[in-house]
Amino acid sequence: MLSKLKGFTLLEILVALIICALVVVLTSELLLHAKERRIRVTSAATAISFELALARLRGDVSAATHARRGNKNVQISSPSDDVIKISLFRLAFMPSKSRVGMVQVEWTFEPSGVSRSISEDIKPVKVDVSASEHRIQKVESNVYYLISKVNDVEFAQIVDLR
């Protein structure tokens, strides 16, 4: 026992070195790509949130009330170059009054993200992004293209007000 405590043999050191090298190889690959992969996963999660917000916007626009002249009563405005506001009225369940009633829904597309504000909302929509650009293009009368660029990925959706 005493002789063993004096030091390591060459074989032991070699085995230890091989094991160390193996551990380094295994972990280095993981550490090198971990940050990049985390960014990719976060970016994908943001994109999914944005997709869900767009799907909800489509639902809101299709459920919006109609104006007297026939088209949807939806107001699209752009208070500044990089902000788009979509305002509409629709029927929705109001938890505070326990009944269905008319509510005003306001969507705001701005560089910091997208938000949906509604007075009686149970689950407000808020998608925060680091940088985004939004623009609206007219396709035809009462049909618009909402184009957003989020983390260098473009999203396009038709806003049909017919």
Partner 1 sequence: MGQEARSNLLKCYADPIYILFHVQVKFMSKSLRSRFSGFILIDVLVALSILSIAIALYWQSFSAQSEFNESIRQYYSLRRLEADARILIDIDQLQRLYVAGYRSVSDVSFDSRSITVNLINPIRVVRFVE
Q: What are phi and psi of 69, to 5 degrees?
A: -80, 0
Cβ contact 73:67 at 8 Å: yes
* Minimum distance, C-beta of residue 123 to partner 1, in the bound complex (Å): 18
Residue labelled with tokens 């949906």: 116
10 is an interface residue for partner 1 by CB under 8 A: no
Binding mask 134-153 for partner 1 (x = CB under 8 A): -----xx--x-x-x-----x
Smallest separation (angstroms) from partner 1 to the CB of 60: 14
Of residues 68 through 107, those in contact with partner 1 by CB under 8 A are none
Q: Which class for 60: exposed (0-12), middle (13-18), buried (19 or more C-beta within 10 A)?
A: buried
- Shortest approach of partner 1 to residue 105 CB, angstroms? 19
What is the per-residue binding string for partner 1 in 14-33, x denoting contact by CB under 8 A?
-xx--x--xx--xx--x---
| Structure tokens belonging to residue 160 | 């049909």
Cα distance between residue 22 and residue 137, in whole Å: 56
| Beta carbon of residue 16, minimum distance to partner 1 (angstroms, whole number) | 8
Q: Whose CA is closest to 117, among 132, 135, 103, 128?
A: 103
C-beta closer to partner 1: residue 47 or 94: 47
